[in-house]
A = this chain, B = another copy of it.
Amino acid sequence: MSFHQRLKSVWETKNSLVCVGIDPELSRLPEHLLDHKEAYLDFGIGIVDACAPYVSAFKPQAAHFAAVGAEDQLAKLISYIQKSYPELPVILDAKRGDIGSTAALYAKEAFERYGADAVTVNPYLGHDSLAPYFEYSDQGVIVLCRTSNPGGNWIQGVRVGEEPLYLTVAQQVREWDLNDQCMLVTGATYPDELGQVRKTVGNMPLLVPGVGAQGGDVEAVLKAGVDSSGQGLCISSSRGILYAGSGRDFAEKAGEAAMKLRDEINRYR
C-alpha cells in the first residue's frame, strides 16, 4: 500500500485529520515524571495512549530527543506507537538534508534504525539529496515547502519567474513523486500560501504545522487546504496538545485537546 493510500485509509477510519507532534521538553514535563529514568518515553506513551482515539498520525520531533541524548527513548516510543496503534503512521520530524551518499544514511536512520513510516526533509540540496529516501517506496517523504515560521519567506518566497520558489518546490516534488509517497510541509500560519500549494499539487497530502501555539487559524487552513475529498491534510499541533495540562492529568488533558482539535477541524470540512 502506498503511503498516500495509507493516509487516506486512516483519515477515513479515524475521521480525523489531527497529527500530534511529540516535542518533549524537560522544563515543561509534569513534575511527577521528572524522576523517571525514561521521562520522555513515559511522557510520550501517556500522550499517545490518550490521543490515539482522536488522531490519524503522530510526529515525534528529533531535536527534542537529540538535545538531551535520548535517542533510545525516541526509538522505544516509535516502536510503542507502531505496536499499539499499527494503523497510525509515525512521522519522524527530522528535516534532514545532505548530499546523496550522506542522505542515504539519514534515510537509514529514519526508516531502518527508527522504523518511522515517514520523515521530513529539506529540499535545499535538490533531487539527488532526496532520491535515497524515495527508494523506500512505501514510506512517506515530506518535503519542506512553505514553513510556518516568519523567516521562512526569505528563501521560500523568492520569485522564480512569476511564482514564489515554494510553488516551484511544490510542482517539482509532485513530478518527482513516482510512488505516491511525497507530502509537503506548508504552515498553517500562511493559509493563502497553503491554498496556492493545494492548487499546484492536486490531491497530494500536506503536513500542516502551526495551529495551536504558533497561532494558525483552523478554519482558514481547512478552506484553503483540503483536497477534493475534504481530506488531504495532516494538521499538526504539538505544544497546544502536549502541555494542555501540567500535572498528573497531563495525558487526559492532552486527549481532550486532541479531541477538541479534531472536532474543530471536522466542523470546517
Contact = CB atoms under 8 A, between A and B. Distances in A.
A63 B102 contact: yes
A67 B112 CA distance: 8
Contacts of A67: 105-106, 108-109, 112-113
Say how many copies of this protein the assembly contains.
2
Interface string A59-81: 00101101111010001000000
Interface residues of A, number: 50
A147 B154 CA distance: 19
A86 interface: no
A165 interface: yes
A8 interface: no
A34 interface: no
Contacts of A155: 123-124, 126, 155, 165, 169
25 contacts: A63-B103, A63-B105, A63-B106, A66-B105, A66-B113, A67-B112, A67-B113, A69-B113, A97-B97, A100-B149, A123-B124, A123-B154, A124-B124, A124-B147, A124-B156, A125-B151, A125-B152, A126-B153, A126-B154, A127-B151, A128-B150, A128-B151, A129-B152, A158-B168, A159-B160
Interface of A: 23, 61, 63-64, 66-69, 71, 75, 95-100, 102-103, 105-106, 108-109, 112-113, 122-129, 144, 147-156, 158-160, 165, 168-169, 172
